[in-house]
Amino acid sequence: MGGPLGALLAAWLLLAAGSGGAKDNILLVLTDDQDREMGGMTPMKKTTSLIGQLGATFANAFAVTPLCCPSRSSILTGRYPHNHLVRNNSLEGNCSSPAWQKFQEPFTFPVYLQRQGYQTFYAGKYLNQYGDPKAGGIQYMPPGWSYWLGLVGNSKYYNYTLSANGHEEKHGEHYEEDYLTDIITNRSLQFLEKLSHPPFLMVLAPPAAHSPWTAAPHYKSAYSSIKAPRNGSFNVHGKDKHWLIRQAKTPMSNTSIEFLDNVYRERWQTLLSVDDMVEKIFEKLKTLHLLDSTYVFYTSDHGYHTGQFSLPIDKRQLYEFDIRVPLLVRGPGVKPNQTHLQPVLNIDLGPTFLDIAGERDAQEQVAVRFPGGIHW
């Protein structure tokens, strides 16, 4: 480990060293398109209370690229996109392609943790092209996962297909049986209940706050009066920005503004179910006496924009609204209510997990692939 983040994690692990050598559990909650810059954490009252106020908040956390598949590939490998070669969300762009499966997936963090004796669980969105027939289909299970519940394709809330340990599981449009965020919650609770022995690694990847922004029925009226922030760059032509920004139509039409306001509200509505998920997981960890030996990380694959520089909605731009992400951490040795200003990247997550697991050989093997790698 090197740099201020390495020193920080070393201090945490030193404070937690009274566990008699037992390995700590790791839980990562990875949301989709959840910004920090535009108020994306506002709906997360329970999450902020359970993790941020009882742990650490990283105020300067960034994704290395503001696009789903390249960013998620960076989290899994600890590599920048120019090293893992995932260029976009298409199979041709190396998203969950046979080449990715052959040359990158064998070196993802779950592989090393599983070798360390971790029981590993994944539920939710993986990579945008996961399940494509040209790349193994539903039967393909990425290496390193003891239990696999992977969403086929991109984020949905209803009418989707899951790969349950390589077996097809279709879902419809009934809330009680099919709402994906709740399915992820319930399956994760079942995993914890049936856990034969710690340590465990869990990655929960709900679809929120990605389109189609379908809220649970009881949250569809939430935030009815909320509008997207009218900050300094809202509906302002980025005439001094790069060519993609300069192409935006300025000023936006009233129809476009009404649309983005509605999207802004619906994004928050979908996140309320994620907030419930975090609370339920914490309750289960506490009941099973696992909470004190579990590191919990909460973050997003990248940010989002709603009207900045007259860009109605999307990500993909290298401005803070699209690359700054929430990052909250709670666990053994992490003092409550901390705010850290050191810049951190999503490629730091995997090396952090390896450090927690005490995976020194893998840490060295992976670390050489990080240009100027910072480890927590």
State the catalytic residue, choosing from 68, 152, 208, 281.
Answer: 68
pLDDT one-digit tens code per residue, 37-54:
999 999 999 999 999 999
How far, in whole angstroms, is CA 126 from its chain's centroid?
Answer: 10
Q: Which CATH number fits domain 3-367: 3.40.605.10, 1.10.630.10, 3.40.720.10, 3.40.50.720?
A: 3.40.720.10
Q: Give the Cα separation of 258 and 264 in Å (integer).
A: 10
Give the residue extent of every domain in the chain.
Answer: 3-367
Q: Give the Cα separation of 324 and 327 in Å (integer).
A: 9
Q: Give the Cα separation of 347 and 264 in Å (integer).
A: 28
pLDDT one-digit tens code per residue, 329-351:
999 999 999 999 999 999 999 99
Answer yes or no: is pLDDT of 57 > 50: yes
Answer yes or no: is pLDDT of 202 > 50: yes
Determine whether 69 is an active site residue: no
Residue 2: C-alpha distances to residues 7, 59, 147, 333, 371 (Å): 7, 20, 33, 19, 12
> How many CB atoms within 10 Å of residue 271?
26
pLDDT one-digit tens code per residue, 147-162:
999 999 999 999 999 9
Contact between 89 and 315 (Cβ < 8 Å) = no
Percent of the chain clearing pLDDT 70 (strictly above): 90
Answer yes or no: is pLDDT of 370 > 60: no
Answer yes or no: is pLDDT of 361 > 80: no
Contact between 217 and 42 (Cβ < 8 Å) = no
The pLDDT value given to residue 16:
57
Q: Is the dihedral of CA 121, 124, 125, 130 positive or negative?
A: positive
Q: Give the Cα separation of 72 and 90 in Å (integer).
A: 13
Mean pLDDT of 258-268: 99
pTM of the model: 0.94
Q: Is the dihedral of CA 39, 175, 155, 185 positive or negative?
A: positive
Answer yes or no: is pLDDT of 376 > 50: no
* Nearest alpha carbon to residue 301 among 75, 122, 77, 40: 75
The pLDDT value given to residue 371:
28
